[in-house]
Amino acid sequence: MNLVASKKVQKLTASIFQEVADLKRLALNRGLDVIDLSVGSPDLPPPAFVVEELVKYASDTANYGYTLKGIPEFHEAVSSFYQQRYAVDIDPKKEVLQLMGSQDGLAHLATAIINPGDYVLVPDPGYPIYEASVTIAGGALYPFALLAENNFLPILDDIPLHILENTKMMILSYPGNPVTALADKSFFEKVIDFAKRHNILVVHDFAYSELIFDNHPQISFMSVPGAKEVGIEFNSLSKTFNLAGCRIGYAVGNEQALNILGTFKSQIDYGVFYPIQKAAVAALTSEYTLLKEQVKEYEFRRDTLMAGLEKSGWQLAKSPATMFLWAKIPDGWRSRQFAFELINQAGVAVIPGDAFGKQGEGYVRIALVQPAERLSEAAARIHEFLAKYNH
């Protein structure tokens, strides 16, 4: 049989994570100890009470049927979480849509909303599914640059009118991946005004809402007046409660947009495993003290790595949030060359920035998914690696 992928799928590029994993395997085969700072999967455990809830409900065989959608308790839990964490009122019945991870919603939304030829504004650099979802939907992409000199915020006025006339959706993420910058309320106000003027659905990816450091405010897009009229926000339990493999997430906000996505999803999956939903309820309605400790742990990791790297003269911008450092690489390197040589020679795996878009060239993304001692060791190895090239 001669089987060829569809034209849409042919347009999707193979994941960089696989390429880095292959290089990592080769390095391991050569006997090198590899410190893996490539994939953003949390190494920290979920809270014990969440696991207990999961096990309790998973041991009852009555809980293995299709759930079809979120149980009312889950919708209530999201609403109370949004009220307590971000001072946002969310109607649990109309303004919450349960997802199999925020990826599920991000992957399907474009197909549910846009027609071939409609433009979607996406961040460059940006999390890969934003672009891929538009390609799958047959839409047109307009990547907007996130540059350090603009605090990684887009210049909305730079987007040409003829593009805006055909734009249906815009994706933002503050703090995001790989760009970890935060947005303030006034930026979101501008976005809402812009979206109303041009009739654009705003999609805010808030997957890192609970990994915000140094007492910066945690600003949900939904907390800004008018947001629900124009937008939805994706959130997840993956990074907040270290449940990345336990697939559950949600979207909140504009009822119409959520209904459209919900209708589409009702054809695609049959809901999240009931024990996972119950575990998520326990997590979302807990005391939240663990969240504070988790933030401290990531701050400590970030500071440890940065202090180590400063010794080699590589000064990184301090991440205000997320589990990543978006690191401008030393002059004279291309992202891929730097990342790949770092694995081969130093046994430190990071992701080249250009994998996230054209504007990512000149950067690498470093994930803080190892304990501080390993990050110190990584910094020491990078120091040696850079010293070789500085002579």
Ligand X SMILES: Cc1ncc(COP(=O)(O)O)c(C=O)c1O
The binding site for ligand X (CB under 6 A) comprises 40, 101-103, 127, 173, 176-177, 205, 207, 236, 238, 244, 249
Q: Which is nearer to ligand X, 143 or 176 (CB)?
A: 176
Find the shortest distance in angstroms from Cβ 247 to ligand X.
Answer: 7
CA distance 326 to 181: 9
The stretches of the chain forming alpha helices (DSSP H) are 7-11, 16-29, 48-58, 72-86, 102-113, 128-137, 161-164, 185-198, 227-230, 255-265, 274-284, 289-310, 335-341, 372-389
Spatial CA neighbour of 129 closest among 110, 153, 154:
110
Q: What's phi and psi for 293, nearest 5 deg?
A: -65, -40
Residue at token pair 């991870």: 101
Find the shortest distance in angstroms from Cβ 36 to ligand X.
Answer: 15
Q: Which is nearer to ligand X, 69 or 204 (CB)?
A: 204
Q: CB–CB of 127/326 below 8 Å?
A: no
Find the shortest distance in angstroms from Cβ 3 to ligand X.
Answer: 29
- The residue of the chain with the least Cβ separation from ligand X equals 101
Q: Which amino acid is at 201?
A: L
Find the shortest distance in angstroms from Cβ 102 to ligand X.
Answer: 4
Find the shortest distance in angstroms from Cβ 39 to ligand X.
Answer: 8
Under 8 Å CB-to-CB from 314, ≥6 apart: which residues? 327, 330, 382, 386
Q: Which is nearer to ligand X, 180 or 335 (CB)?
A: 180
Q: Which is nearer to ligand X, 205 or 210 (CB)?
A: 205
Find the shortest distance in angstroms from Cβ 299 to ligand X.
Answer: 19
Find the shortest distance in angstroms from Cβ 307 to ligand X.
Answer: 25
Q: Peptide bond before 175: cis, by omega within 30 degrees of 0? A: yes
Q: Which is nearer to ligand X, 308 or 360 (CB)?
A: 360
CA distances from 318 to 128, 212, 263, 305 (A): 23, 12, 42, 10
Q: CB–CB of 110/120 below 8 Å?
A: yes
Tokens of 245: 């493999």
Q: Which is nearer to ligand X, 101 or 308 (CB)?
A: 101
Q: Which is nearer to ligand X, 164 or 282 (CB)?
A: 282
